Structure 1
């Protein structure tokens, strides 16, 4: 039995992110009037970060819902070095027709540079799209009154995965507070275990998983208002609030025996390999913090609920929250086939189909999708956390993804690596990141 009703409620029932869901008939297959164009033989190129089985799932959806019905030929290409490669391609005049950006900050930069085509230019009805995705999410790609990014995927980042057999054998309780989590880590070391598998390796994007850790802590410890100011540089990286959050993260990173390979080895462990460490009767580590999509990278045969479980990232100083992320599709070529692709790919049917692939955990931001779209139990857990956070106004999009790319996808990533390798010189690292913020 699928258990995903709470995800739909999370997006449909809260006024924080979402506007009303249209006329209630769930039909969002057309945003504009008129017959669909003749697209036989037309080609559409799509480029993004998701790769491996997730890329295969995206192409399967594209083929069934766009290529076959229209006669067009659209193809998605995924790259583990997307953030680096998309810059090369755009600057080299070889931009894809559509790019799926994980960083809304980069979307705004493409709008500022005049490279991206706005949804208004393409002829979309923005009010209809707000009904489909909500004002908050659609607004992440807004620049000077026009919209340049359309949501295609969402995920919850505030999750900690753990080894069930050892937790049960040792009688470990799920920590409810960050302090509890540090104490549990100390107990695990006493019992002969390594508590944490933390890997920030990600090719050209190495470092981003460490920024997620810090963002989860800032959101709770400093609060949503300070978090929002941090994103826009009203609150500096070297402020007392961010410094304190970094030191709180350091309790885990630099805890004696807390992390596989020690803090210096964290950037050398690929984030896709880190889940392997918490699986088995004699695991290399017992806990791993990562977003809901990480189920795509658990070892084949590992079963959720038997081999591994998940709990929400705990509260800090009594405050809870939810860090969310996702993709925004950006258009670089104004053509009928490109617009039609966006329309179909973000529509209810194709978005729902994206949730029905084994080992893929794409969550649709389209509020008209139903609970039956998803086969993975983790979606239900993610939904519960998101709904609670939205109701309390403590859900926020990934901060580094909202920052200018030279910071959010540059100095912030590299600075976290430097901090771990260098033994935790917090003041110097945060000052250097702050100095990189563009004027």
Structure 2
């Protein structure tokens, strides 16, 4: 059986929020409320259910607040246990051992599809479907659907189309946030001329490089091509891929735009790339990555997001729409769980603006739920990111590499990650890189 591990992005985000001991169990007990998520009064009193997910540290603590609220409403006792990054492996072992959790927060489309095809998932209830229809763009339901059956309710999302920058560096160079990719390169060269490289690029792991490619490809080639490439219905040798690589190569191949050049970027991990921009000795003006950059800036570098660190949307490429690439965690109900009714009630609660609002107020969270009040979000920058994510509606596309087999889209030193690292080192031959990507993809999809 092939297991799809959670992406190292998860590891980076866990480190940002302060990792807790793996497997730490947090228990939310009933605290006396009288209105259930399903509209009854303490209708689940005396029942217990277990929720599993990758979250640790601050993320786990904040999700516990959501579970506490569910317990107060329903009387159910809810226990959360972290699986660590290998959610697929852990949950599979739990199912085989007869101690499966009732609900799993799945961090990848590929893992959700894997669980569904193995027959592990119960279809979500009509009530959950109705909540999703009311509160979510259709695209989020589509990503939670396998073979026309709705299995996964997306509760937490990331916005991976944000370019973070130092306001001080921009002010000193006299540049403003770019609306187009061409303007981004132009502003980058102006920044370089002022004495600071434009971008810190995290190339030590391959996942940030896949995110760079995906944003350019989505804007330049469009959503239809993006979906086909994500499903490997067109080859990576398609001219649209070569064009996107050529466009990306204009940035990667310019030593004035990338701090340390390609070789320096290949030695830079994600936290270091953020520190290069917002640390005590800045070595670059911008870093591209998702909204979770803000958590690192705030929690690890102790800078004020919105003042010391700001972001602008990833710019449009060649006249296309500005891209919105996302990731997220979906709640699924396991058939092997011992309390199906309580599990469905919890997922139905997670589909509400109320549940999302609890974590939004705690910070470090975005919801794909379009009806979460803007005022529930922790700060102005997060409100801006959430508004951008939900305003994109059905234009949002899930991280492409998270949809691919792990051997191609999620393995250090192999597949897309390795090929794009080689491209960062030498971006001079986009066609050759496309052929290498296709060879790796074809092998992974066959297996």
TM range (shorter): 0.7 to 0.9
1:47 aligned to 2:47? no
Q: TM-score, normalised by structure 2?
A: 0.79
2:187 corresponds to which residue? Answer: 184
1:8 corresponds to which residue? Answer: none
User: Which residues of 2 match residues 7-18 of structure 1 at below 5 A?
Assistant: none
Classify 1:62/1:265 alpha carbon distance in 2 versus 1 (closer, same or farther; 3 Å).
farther
1:88 corresponds to which residue? Answer: 89
2:134 corresponds to which residue? Answer: 131
User: Which residues of 2 match residues 20-35 of structure 1 at below 5 A?
Assistant: 30=37
Report the 3-state secondary structure (helix = DSSP H, G, I; strand = E; otherwise coil) of the residue aligned with 1:354: helix
1:430 corresponds to which residue? Answer: 437
Structure 1 unaligned regions, length at least 5: 1-27
1:13 corresponds to which residue? Answer: none
State the shift of 1:429 in Å: 2.9
State the shift of 1:220 in Å: 1.2
2:253 corresponds to which residue? Answer: 254
State the shift of 1:158 in Å: 1.2
2:327 corresponds to which residue? Answer: 325
User: In 2, Cα distance between the equivalents of 1:387 and 1:91?
Assistant: 33
Does the 8 Å contact 2:360/2:366 carry over to 1?
yes
Q: TM-score, normalised by structure 1?
A: 0.80
User: In 2, Cα distance between the equivalents of 1:414 and 1:39?
Assistant: 51
Report the 3-state secondary structure (helix = DSSP H, G, I; strand = E; otherwise coil) of the residue aligned with 1:100: strand
1:279 corresponds to which residue? Answer: 278
Does the 8 Å contact 1:32/1:125 carry over to 2?
no
Report the 3-state secondary structure (helix = DSSP H, G, I; strand = E; otherwise coil) of the residue aligned with 2:270: coil
Q: Show CA shifts across 1:238-274 (max 9, x none).
A: 2111122122112222211433343244454332342
1:316 corresponds to which residue? Answer: 317
Structure 2 unaligned regions, length at least 5: 1-34
User: In 1, Cα distance between the equivalents of 2:294 and 2:389?
Assistant: 18
Q: How many residues align?
A: 396
Q: Show CA shifts across 1:122-158 (max 9, x none).
A: x755234322334321221212332111111123221
State the shift of 1:313 in Å: 1.0
Does the 8 Å contact 1:320/1:394 carry over to 2?
no
State the shift of 1:175 in Å: 2.0
2:29 corresponds to which residue? Answer: none
1:290 aligned to 2:289? yes
1:105 aligned to which of 94, 103, 110: 110
Report the 3-state secondary structure (helix = DSSP H, G, I; strand = E; otherwise coil) of the residue aligned with 1:152: strand
Classify 1:294/1:97 alpha carbon distance in 2 versus 1 (closer, same or farther; 3 Å).
farther
User: In 2, Cα distance between the equivalents of 1:356 and 1:396?
Assistant: 26
User: In 1, Cα distance between the equivalents of 2:266 and 2:106?
Assistant: 23
Report the 3-state secondary structure (helix = DSSP H, G, I; strand = E; otherwise coil) of the residue aligned with 1:311: strand
Higher relative contact order (CA 8 A, sep 6+): 1
1:14 corresponds to which residue? Answer: none
1:366 corresponds to which residue? Answer: 369
Q: Show CA shifts across 1:400-434 (max 9, x none).
A: 23334443334333433343356666234323333
1:355 aligned to 2:360? yes
